[in-house]
Structure 1
Amino acid sequence: MTTNAPVKVALVTGAGSGIGRSVALGLLADGFAVVLAGRRPEPLQALVTEAEAQGQQALAVPTDVRDPASVDALFATIEEVYGRLDVAFNNAGINAPAVPVDELDVSHWLNVINTNVTGVFLCARAAFGLMRRQQPQGGRIINNGSISAHTPRPFTAPYTASKHAVLGLTKALALDGRDYNIACSQIDIGNALTELSVRMTKGVRQANGQIAVEPMVDVSHVADAVRYIAALPLSANVLNMTVMATNMPFVGRG
């Protein structure tokens, strides 16, 4: 049974903390009903409680994006509860230890690829299918890339490879979605300040081997960027957007 769905329904993966949480709060403020996916149920439920206190509608669905059955269950719930999906923000992702590639355990490589590539593929695949079936047809898929989709940091082969793969997937989905009114975007983020990135305020290895403190950007600006893309009509798309701390060493020579 479907509910009387609001005008728009959004999915955010990795919604329990950091960028995902900030984006979810922004989409809730914009009037979306937001499905919150993540591996830890406690922060998801805390966000539901926070949303409901504001008169907003959120649904927590604990999900492991690496597991096809878990992703299938997530989208079955979305279809059962809301009957459609308008925006999917594929945000869940992880990193690996920053060590020379020959010292990296293969398990770390597989974990990054399974989460950052296969997880994005599984959720995008399911979102594409629901958006293609639903009436009115169409929707928007937004993938969380990274500036690492374009330029690596030292000792980040797994993460960099995964984000280059997401860039290719985004372009493929943008092309394949044309006939079904499905738009696909990628937001490439540089130095957003979250619980996971706060360590960077103490110094980050640079290409020349030095450790340097880098500027950070408030995560709310990332959320605002996703909100902008989500609000566009499906006749318009932001294929790629970079949101970064203005003075971080990305362009030029640092």
Structure 2
Amino acid sequence: MVTGAGSGIGRSVALTLAAAGWAVAAAGRRAEPLEETAEAAGPDADVLCVRADVSDPDDVTALFESVRARYGRLDLLFNNAGTFGPGGVPLEDLTYEAWRSVVDVNLTGSFLCAQAAFRQMKRQDPQGGRIINNGSISAHVPRPNSIAYTATKHAMTGLTKSLSLDGRPYRIACGQIDIGNAATEMTERMQTGILQANGQLAAEPVMDAADVARTVLHMAELPLEANVQFATVMATSMPYIGRG
């Protein structure tokens, strides 16, 4: 299962998994982009499109029921759905509604999907599976005016560690991929100029989302006795080491 599979990193990962022979459940808030992902995967790919808002518990329940009905089990969840929220808004001007929107999708949505995956992986036979959480460079260091996104990505690291610990008795492995400047809709503004910690605007390099997808595939195809706990994949020259 790939959440946020209608665009960006989610679409790239869904296509890469499908090309490698995985049956893929593509989840997202809008049906049309999911269908475009399925079409791009080709006629021989097994792609199930499910419209779901991961911040809605009922949607998440229905999503996992659809996957169970189609496939009978779940071997991989890529917890990818996320939002940056309003960009460039100073802390004192960030509305409660904007804060909640980011937290609900990035953190609560990831928890709800991980919880549902955990329940399924515990009861299936053979038992177990893998959860890969999409963290971010912002799980380590913030950008200016990004408090909601940064807080949720730091929290994602705690979610990953707890899932890893609680999953051990059930052969449930959990890892996290921290991604920096993959070329997606979310990072378009980075290529033209984005606020840096020193107050200047600067264009930042980006990398192909397919490079991220290959890393997710590697993590996904390890035996459950092995796990990539944390991986950082980034545009080589982006300002991460030394940011701030």
- Alignment TM-score > 0.5, same fold: yes
Q: What residue in structure 2 maps to residue 131 of structure 1?
A: 121
Could you tell me which of 18, 23, 26 is aligned with 2:8?
A: 18
Larger mean Cα displacement after TM superposition, 220-229 or 91-100: 91-100
Q: Distance in 2 between matches of 1:37 and 1:253?
A: 34
Return the letter of the residue paired with 1:211: L
Equivalent-residue separation in structure 2 for 1:77 and 1:143 (angstroms): 21
Contact 2:182 / 2:234 at 8 angstroms: preserved in 1? yes
**SS of the residue 1:217 aligns to:** coil
Whether 1:27 aligns to 2:17 is yes
Write the distance in 2 (CA, Å) between the matches of 1:246 and 1:107: 35
Distance 2:134 2:208 in 1: 16
Q: Residue 78 of structure 2 contacts residue 131 of structure 2 at CA under 8 Å; is this kept in 1?
A: yes
Give the alignment's TM-score, normalised by structure 2: 0.98
What amino acid is aligned across from residue 79 of structure 2 in structure 1?
N
Matched letter for residue 183 of structure 1: A
**Partner secondary structure for residue 176 of structure 1:** helix
Q: Is the 8 A contact 2:2 2:77 kept in 1?
A: yes
User: In the alignment, residue 162 of structure 1 is paired with which amino acid?
Assistant: T
Residue number in structure 2 paired with 1:140: 130
Counterpart of 2:149 (choices 148, 159, 173) is: 159
Contact 1:52 1:58 in 2 (8 A): no
What stretches of structure 1 of length at least 5 have no aligned partner?
A: 1-10
Alignment of 1:1-254 (within 5 A): 11-53=1-43, 55-97=44-86, 98-253=88-243
Amino acid at match of 2:61: D
Distance change >3 Å, CA 113–CA 253, structure 1 → 2: closer
Q: Is the 8 A contact 2:15 2:40 kept in 1?
A: no
Cα-to-partner distance string for 1:57-95 (whole Å, 9 max, x where unaligned): 000000000000000000011111111000100000001
**AA matched with 1:172:** S
- SS of aligned partner of 1:177: helix
Structure 2 distance, partners of 1:80, 1:121, is 22
Matched-pair contact (CA < 8 Å) for 1:41–1:60:
yes
Measured after TM superposition, the shift of residue 49 of structure 1 is 2.8
Shift of 1:115: 0.2
Identity score, percent: 59
Distance in structure 2 (CA, Å) of the matches to 1:253 and 1:222: 21
Q: Which amino acid aligns with 1:94?
A: T
The offset of 1:56, in angstroms, is 1.0
| Structure 2 unaligned residues grouped into runs of 5+ | none
TM-score, with structure 1 as normaliser: 0.94
SS of equivalent to 2:78: strand
- CA-to-aligned-CA distance 1:18-63 (integer Å, 9 cap, x gap): 000000000001100000000000011122233342x110000000
Aligned-pair distance for 1:253? Answer: 4.8
Check whether the contact 2:141–2:243 (CA below 8 A) recurs between aligned residues: no
CA deviations over 1:190-242 (Å, ceiling 9, x no partner)? 00001221121001111010001111111110000100000100000001000
1-structure distance, mates of 2:37, 2:53: 18
> Which sits farther off after the overlay, 141-150 or 93-102?
93-102
* Residue-by-residue CA offset, 1:148-204 (whole Å, 9 max, x unaligned): 011000000000000011110000000100000000010000000012211210011
Q: Say which SS state the counterpart of residue 81 (structure 2) adopts.
A: coil
